[in-house]
Structure 1
Amino acid sequence: MLNDILKNKSKVFLLILLVLLLVGIRAFENQLFYDPFLVYFERDYKTLPLPEFDSIRLFFGLLFRYALNTIVSLGVIYVLFKEIELVKFASILYVIFFLILIVAFYCIIYFYADQNNLMLFYVRRFLIQPILILLFIPGFYYQKLNK
């Protein structure tokens, strides 16, 4: 195991760097992105009304954060598998998931408002956190093993 790590020093370094970038995105979320739901979900959101927000700014804030997480996640996939086809496939999946999640996010906000805060919490979580990479890496690894 240690020999494998020593042989792939640059790969390990790049993976650590990319993970640190994901951590940096999370650490500086308050400064980088417009998202009034950050503070809202830190409190007792089940009893509080939704915060005031600018829909356009919120959309672009979510898009920017999702795009940053996606770019770094695609970098992780490339470093791990060295297959551009997997990166292309994953990028298509990321776009599809973004479209589905952003529509679901705004539908929940506008049609369910204060009724479904927990569902809003989880849909937003998929938009702002790089959770999809946790699904893609094992899936791609399993696919690679079965080739």
Structure 2
Amino acid sequence: MSKYLKIVLVSLLFVLLIAVRAFQANLFYDPLIVYFKNDYLYTGIQNIVVWKLVINMFFRYLINSIISLGIIWVLFERKEYLRFASYFLMIAFVILITVFVILIKDNFESGYLLPFYIRRFIIHPLFLLILLPAFYYQKLSNR
């Protein structure tokens, strides 16, 4: 793949990640957006439809993961990296969503910071920021 095509594709994929973030309110059910902006200081957690929140978080995570895998493929073109990233993202989601649901059921009694950051890792492609430098370092080490 040519260098210019890679730049265009990676730029397009990053624009897609930005679009998911920009249109989050229209695309996904997430009452915790307002709660974590300011309400957590004054009120307890509202009535949340947990199954609806989990399904919407799953779809958002899936969309971000597919775009992230596309970025990894375009940049490195290695099946091993793609396979590792896929497994990593799946395992991370299962662990994070399990802990998150437990914390929601507990009404954030142990504090709001842990659920806040777990939710961040689920709804934003933060693992991409971890995987890209790791794969780049691995690529440099294999030369």
Which TM-score band (shorter chain)? over 0.9
Contact 1:49 1:114 in 2 (8 A): no
Q: 1:93 corresponds to which letter in structure 2?
A: F
Q: Distance in 2 between matches of 1:13 and 1:48?
A: 46
The TM-score normalised by the length of structure 1 is 0.91
How far the C-alpha of 1:36 sits from its partner, in A, is: 0.6
Which of 116, 128, 131 is matched with 1:133 structurally? Answer: 128
Report the more deviating stretch, 61-70 or 39-48. 39-48
Q: Distance in 1 between matches of 2:60 and 2:66?
A: 10
Which runs of 5 or more residues in structure 1 are unaligned? 1-6
Contact 2:103 2:115 in 1 (8 A): yes
1:34-62 deviation line (CA, Å, top 9, x unaligned):
11101111114233211211111111000
Instruction: Give the length in aligned residue pairs.
Output: 141
Which of 94, 100, 109 is matched with 1:99 structurally? Answer: 94
Q: Tell me: higher relative CO, structure 1 or 2? Use CA pairs within 8 A at least 6 residues apart.
A: 2
Which of 71, 83, 96 is matched with 1:76 structurally? Answer: 71
Name the structure 2 match of 1:19: 14
Following TM superposition, the consecutive aligned residue runs of length 4 or more in structure 1 with deviations greater than 2 angstroms are 111-115
In structure 1, the residue corresponding to 2:41 is in which secondary structure? coil
Task: Compute the RMSD of aligned alpha carbons.
Answer: 1.2
Identity %: 42
Report the more deviating stretch, 44-53 or 88-97. 44-53
Which runs of 5 or more residues in structure 2 are unaligned? none
